[in-house]
A and B are shown apart, each in its own frame.
Chain A
Amino acid sequence: MRLRPLTLALLLVVTASAAAGGEQSPDAFVAEAFAGARPAPAVLWLTPEIQSGVSRILGARLPGLRQRYWRAGKRSAWILERIGKEEPITAGFVVEDGRIVSAQVLVYRESRGGEIRFPNFRDQFIGAGLDRDLGLDTDIDGIAGATLSVNAMQRMARLALYLHAVAVGDEPGKDMH
């Protein structure tokens, strides 16, 4: 079958768009977070005090008694999940020295709002830290029509920063500069 030039051009545009904003597998995310030297997973036991901080960020406790993460030195990687509008969004965050160094959407299940997968949105989280109120100290521009997905990503970013601080023994929201 011979493709017409216009059809071929459209296919290339769609493919390029998909590649630019595509999801990443959890395995690939963790491997990339540590430059291929994937550490063994660790667990953070969710004490009542930690769950209290979690509730301030999410409005609810994390399910379960422990949270898995990966850590090497001052860098940690977290795979978190949060409901956008109706379906959960799985995202990965890499945190180092109290700042986000990478934010990835690993699995997006909603039918709308998938623009959060694109780098021009995700890159806003790079360098973000926690303020004393456990909010982000960086403004994140929203996306029209994807408010709930954007909010979910923001909450997960805050959660990753908080859990990182707890895991490495820092005071959450402390100025890292």
Chain B
Amino acid sequence: MNRSRPGTLRNPLQRALHRWHRRIGTIAAAFVLLVATTGLLLSHAAALRLDARTFDAAWLTRLYGLAPQSPPRALHSAAGPLVWIDGHVYRDDTSLDERFPPILGLGENAESMALAGSDALLLLTRDGTLIERLDAASLPGPITAIGTDADGRIVLRSRDAEFTTDDFLRWSAHAAGAPVHWSQVDLDPDPALLAPALRAFRGPGVSAARLITDLHTGRFLGPIGPWLMDASAIALIVLAGSGFWMWAHRKRHRRH
């Protein structure tokens, strides 16, 4: 009978187990290192102040959906630039509204300004303070344009008719044929003009705690990430089991 040297694998099952133990270990190593490292960091999150540290790199804000989904719009006003980003309206970095339709234009008179969307209007003071938001029920109809006439009155165009108001409570027909300077929105605003609004829109960025947690759970890799982490966890269980089995077998083999 041929006897193998002590310590060598005598049967196909043992050889296969070793082989797969190595393979699974190699594949899972990267994920295990990631989970272990991020886990260590998260265990000391408070001491490391991970919530306070933020990252606002462009690629990261895009990945986390913090970048605008639709092209920003802007208007110049007596109170400075008014910027629209994905439903948010900003005066500099101050939010005026968070659910506003794409802005169509701005009407200005001596006392106030009116920023128009298709079914809403923001009534502002000349220094940009919000007076009131008017929804569809308070408007004469869907807005297609806004402007100012020769008398300095704010005029809305809705369904091929024009309306004006003194108090934004009651609307009356605007004199037919009277000239109106219709406002135009800037659909390709200067990046420098957008900068304060974009900073307000993105916020401080992604916190280190959020980023490390997403790496730890695999969510950083998208929908497949958590599944990969689950597979790594199963691989670790398999490695632990196979490693224990091999250790127990070797120990038994040495006794004999």
Partners in one complex: yes
**Interface of A with B (CB < 8 Å)?**
25-27, 30, 40-43, 63-68, 79, 88
Is there an interface contact between A64 and B137, defined as CB atoms closer than 8 Å?
A: no
Instruction: Report the bound CA distance from A88 to B135 in whole Å.
Output: 13
From the candidates B130, B133, B137, name the one contacting A27 in the complex (CB within 8 A).
B137
Chain B residue contacts of A27, Cβ below 8 A: 137
The answer to whether residues A64 and B132 also contact, given A40-B169, A43-B169 and a CB cut-off of 8 A, is yes
Instruction: Report the bound CA distance from A161 to B134 in whole Å.
Output: 22
Instruction: Report the bound CA distance from A27 to B136 in whole Å.
Output: 9
Query: What's the minimum C-beta distance from A54 to chain B, rounded to whole angstroms?
Result: 15
Chain B residue contacts of A41, Cβ below 8 A: 138, 169-170
Is there an interface contact between A68 and B132, defined as CB atoms closer than 8 Å?
A: yes
Work out how many contacts link A and B, with CB atoms closer than 8 A: 34
Is there an interface contact between B131 and A26, defined as CB atoms closer than 8 Å?
A: no
Is there an interface contact between B169 and A26, defined as CB atoms closer than 8 Å?
A: no
Is there an interface contact between B137 and A63, defined as CB atoms closer than 8 Å?
A: no
CB nearest neighbor in B for A90: B135
Chain B residue contacts of A66, Cβ below 8 A: 131-132
Looking at chain B, what size class is its interface with the partner chain? 10 to 19
Query: What's the minimum C-beta distance from B163 to chain A, rounded to whole angstroms?
Result: 15
Chain A residue contacts of B131, Cβ below 8 A: 64-66
**Interface of B with A (CB < 8 Å)?**
99, 125, 129-138, 169-170
A-B contact pairs, 8 of them (CB 8 A): A25-B137, A26-B136, A27-B137, A41-B170, A64-B131, A64-B132, A65-B131, A68-B169
Is there an interface contact between B137 and A65, defined as CB atoms closer than 8 Å?
A: no
From the candidates A25, A30, A42, A65, name the one contacting B129 in the complex (CB within 8 A).
A65
Query: What's the minimum C-beta distance from A15 to chain B, rounded to whole angstroms?
Result: 26
CB nearest neighbor in A for B135: A26
Known contacts A27-B137, A40-B169, A41-B138; 18 further A-B pairs (Cβ under 8 A): A25-B137, A26-B136, A26-B137, A40-B170, A41-B169, A41-B170, A43-B169, A63-B130, A63-B133, A64-B130, A64-B133, A65-B125, A65-B129, A66-B131, A68-B132, A68-B134, A68-B138, A79-B137
CB nearest neighbor in A for B131: A65
CB nearest neighbor in A for B97: A63
Chain A residue contacts of B169, Cβ below 8 A: 40-43, 68
